[in-house]
Every structure is written in structure tokens, then in C-alpha cells.
Amino acid sequence: MDPLKNSKVHPGRAKSILWLLLTVACFQVAYGASSQYPAAGYLIAGYAFGLIKLAEQPSVRRAFYLGLAAGVLCAAPQLTFLWSIFSFAAIVLWIVFAFWIGLFTAIICGCVRRWAQPRAMWCIPIVWTGLEYFRSELYYLKFSWLNLGYALPSYPLAPMWCLGMYGIGFLIFAFCALLSGMTPLKRSAIGCLVGGLIVVTLTAILRDYLAAAKCESSKPKISIVGVQMEFPPAGILPAALDRGLKKNPDAQIFVLSEYTLDGAIPDSLKQWCRVHSRFLVVGGKDFVTNDIYYNTAFVVGTNGEAIFQQAKSVPIQFFHDGQPAPRQSVWNSPWGKIGICICYDLSYTRVTDELIRQGAQMLIVPTMDVEEWGKHEHFLHARVAPVRAAEYGVPVFRLASSGISQAVSGQGIICAQTRFGGNGDLLAVEFRLPYAGSLPPDRWLAPLCTALTGIITATLLLASRGS
């Protein structure tokens, strides 16, 4: 028997449309306004609450279509830059993103119909986290942008980020599920949740305090300068580095963006490093054959030779972006272990986690964001670095080709950044490296939720066939 038969919890069509509009409005304001007004990011909780309400439908099919509609209306305005890249194919990509939103509302609707509201409430954060992790990290079209956590301000919420971006999403949906009235123990559950958040926050603050104290007492400062340029001629690179050195004479490491070079390191850059006794991190191509190459970040030492290199782990789909890196390793620099990942790699926790496991105390990220993709694309991409820094408790130096380059502290605070399209802009910062970074607990929670979501979905499918 359907536990919700003749129930009045199902909204009418007009009410469902209102919830749909509210859900989309909260998402668009959270993502559209939070770049200038960080507090607007908190409205992402309204998006989560609205999706839960959209799942309260008389049929799974109707819940799926409402979720799909919400997903398209959320994705299309934020990902308009895909149209300039793929034209009409961008519509397919928007629908692919929306599919996972529709699948969430459909599964939750199925859970409510199968097990009634109090029991189904516990499925909500599990299913959301499982689907978000799968679409962001595990399948071919993985795409982590527009995740729940990226809309939130990385600071002053930095202590909470020790839970990880998927853990934050889990908490938001758990809280919204409780508020939606799906359990008679709502007050006590919310009290336990708030108490747990306080404990987590205090623990994270203590972690950051101890890490900072250890840095102050035992680590020298490292000075880094990046020069922001998009597809520059190789002949102007030494002069650009000279300009950066003149303004920052104590800088020890210089960084140029992804694809600065169309091949290996030219002798002019090797000579520059040798003459000035500086290190250089620069993006180029490591060719295997005339057509096959690795999109690579090279480290040139003070002796003028390439002392380290790291290829891009996840080349961008549908682009000629090189072969996937066969391995990852960290650069044992004079100041500590530095992890290097390239551009989009920073969006994948499965890439950056490996660097932290190997002891990375800082991340340097040469990045290519083409200026013609537009300012909003750059703002969306710039949301990633503060979250990663706060998750691991390590600083991130992200040097983009045409903005927005960022230097972010291990607390998720943006210490310096460049403007969009600022050709030749300098990004300079001094960091003390932490003793080591740490992985947040959602790195085991999210895969577990993905497995549980598969079990829940399979159970619902088998039950529907048997009914």
C-alpha cells in the first residue's frame, strides 16, 4: 500500500511551480551575487530546501521532471560560457547537469512513497551527497562546478571547511530535511546537529591555531610571484619576469600560467633562472610524439635545468588537452613539499587529495582561463581555490592566464588576487608553509554515500517491479 495515498502533503501544480521558482531564485542569487556580497551565498540553503519540497510529489515521474526543470534553470544562466565554446551542444551539457538534480528529487520521492516521511528523511543527505560526489568525481562527464559548497563564503566559514565540501553539502541537506518537518524528533535532532557543528568548529579553530603556531616558530617565509599572461610570445617572457623581480626583489619562486609555452622550456627561461638564481614554475607541453603530449607544469631550478615536472591528471573533456598524467608526485622544494596541479585538476578532490597524502604543504596551480569565455566563467572558477585551501589547511597559489589569479591562505582567506583580463598583472604573496595538510572526513563519507545511494536506488527499482 502506498503510505502517502490520500495524503495532503503533495502540493498542487501551482504550489510546485512556486517552489520551483523559489529554488531557482535562491540558487541564482547565491551564485550570482555572492562574488560581491559573500553573505548571499547562504541562500544556497534555500535551494536545498526547495529541492526537498519539489520531491514531495504524487509521482516519481513528476518529481523527476520538476527536478530536471530546476536543474536546467539553475545551470543555463550560470554556464552560458559553454554556449560560446560548444554552441547548441551546450544545451546537452546543461541537461546532463540537470539530470542529477532530477534524479535526486525522483529518488527522494520514491523513498517517501516507499517508507513514509520520517524514515525517508534520513535518505535525503545521503542521496544528495552520493549523487553530487558521483557526478563531480567518478564518471566521464564529471563536473564539480555549481556544487553546493562553492556558493558559500570560504571565510568566515573556514573552520567548517575541515569537513570538506561534500561534508558541508551533507550537513546543509540534513538540516533542511529536519526543517522540512519529516520527523517528529526535529527539535532534538537539530539540537544535536548544532552541538556537533560547534564541536567541529572549535576543533578546526584549534587545528588552525596549532598549525599557525608551528609555522611561525619553525618555518621561513616563502615569497612567490606570478605574472598573468595569455598565450604570450616566448620572446617577451624574460622581460615580464624581470618586471616581476624588480617589484618583488625578494621573491624566490616565479609562476607562469598553463600553456604559456607551446613545447619544452626555451633556453631564454633557463638562462633567466640561472642568472637570477630563482625558481620558475611554467606551463608547457611535454611531447611524446608530434601529436601526443602531456599538458605539463615544469619547475626550472636555479641552475637553469628542469628539476621537476607534473602533467595534468584530468585533461578537459572534448578539448585537445594532452594525455592524462601517468603519476602524481610532489616537488621537494627548499621550503617544503609543494604539490603542483594544473588548472581544472584543482576541481577534483581525487587529484588534490593524492598530493596531500604525499605530504604537500602548499599547492601551486598554473591555470588557463581564456578571456573570451567571459568574466562570469572566471568568477565561477575562482570559487574553487579558497575551498581547497580551507579543506586541507594549506595555502594555494593559483596563477591564471587572464584572471582571476589568487593567493589563498590555509584558512581560505584570499590574500591577493588579480583582475579579470589583466594582461601582465602581478600576483605576489608571502606564505609560511604549514607542517602538513590534512584530508577532511568527507573523503570517506562521500564514497560511502555513493554506495548507499546505489543500494537505495536498486531497492526502489526492485520494489517497483514487484508491486
Task: Give every CB contact of residue 238 below 8 A, 6+ residues apart in sequence.
Answer: 268, 269, 271, 272
CB 74 within 8 A of CB 105: no
Cα torsion angle, 339, 342, 343, 346, sign: negative
Cα torsion angle, 164, 327, 368, 303, sign: positive
> What single letter denotes the amino acid at residue 50?
G
Q: What is the DSSP string of 436-459?
A: -----THHHHHHHHHHHHHHHHHH
Residue 300 sits at φ, ψ, to 5 deg, of: -100, 130
Predicted confidence (pLDDT) per residue in 229-269, tens digit: 999 998 899 999 999 999 999 999 999 999 999 988 999 99
Predicted confidence (pLDDT) per residue in 395-414, tens digit: 999 999 998 999 999 888 89
What pLDDT was estimated at residue 217? 47
Of residues 11 and 361, more confidently modeled: 361
Predicted confidence (pLDDT) per residue in 84-101, tens digit: 888 899 999 999 999 999
- How far is the CA of 239 from the CAs of 2, 242, 435, in angstroms? 73, 5, 35
CB 460 within 8 A of CB 251: no
Task: Give every CB contact of residue 269 below 8 A, 6+ residues apart in sequence.
Answer: 237, 238, 241, 280, 282, 300
Question: How many Cα atoms occupy the beta-carbon half-sphere of 376 within 13 Å?
Answer: 16
What pLDDT was estimated at residue 116? 77
Q: Classify 273 as helix, strand or coil.
A: helix
What pLDDT was estimated at residue 435? 80
* DSSP 8-state symbol, 326: S
CB 294 within 8 A of CB 285: yes
- C-alpha 347/C-alpha 334 separation (Å) is 27
What pLDDT was estimated at residue 203? 54
**Cis amide bond preceding 126, omega within 30:** no
Of residues 104 and 33, more confidently modeled: 104
CA angle 290, 291, 293 (to 5 degrees): 95
pLDDT tier, 466 (very low <50, low <70, confident <90, very high otherwise): low
Q: Grid coordinates in use for 361?
A: 604543504
CB 363 within 8 A of CB 355: yes
Of residues 6 and 404, more confidently modeled: 404
What pLDDT was estimated at residue 389? 93
- Nearest alpha-carbon partner for 299 in 285, 311, 282, 312: 282
- How far is the CA of 205 from the CAs of 151, 156, 158, 442, in angstroms? 22, 11, 9, 18
Strand-strand pairing, 414-417 and 406-408: antiparallel
CB count within 10 Å of CB 147 equals: 21
Taking residues 431-452, report their average pLDDT: 92
> Residue 215: is its pLDDT beyond 70?
no
> Residue 343: is its pLDDT beyond 70?
yes
- C-alpha 44/C-alpha 150 separation (Å) is 10
Buried b (16+ CB within 10 A) or exposed e, 408-447: bbbbbbbbebbebbbeebbbbbebbbbebbebbebbebbb
What pLDDT was estimated at residue 309? 96
Work out the mean pLDDT of the chain and round it to a whole number.
87
> What single letter denotes the amino acid at residue 266?
P
Q: Classify 189 as helix, strand or coil.
A: helix
CB 275 within 8 A of CB 302: no
Q: Classify 333 as helix, strand or coil.
A: strand
Residue 87 sits at φ, ψ, to 5 deg, of: 60, -130
- C-alpha 420/C-alpha 370 separation (Å) is 10
Cα torsion angle, 396, 399, 403, 407, sign: positive
Enumerate the β-bridge partners of residue 429: 224
What pLDDT was estimated at residue 115? 85
Predicted confidence (pLDDT) per residue in 147-196, tens digit: 998 988 766 665 677 789 999 999 999 888 888 764 445 555 555 555 55
> Residue 6: is its pLDDT beyond 90?
no
- C-alpha 306/C-alpha 340 separation (Å) is 14
Taking residues 323-349, report their average pLDDT: 95
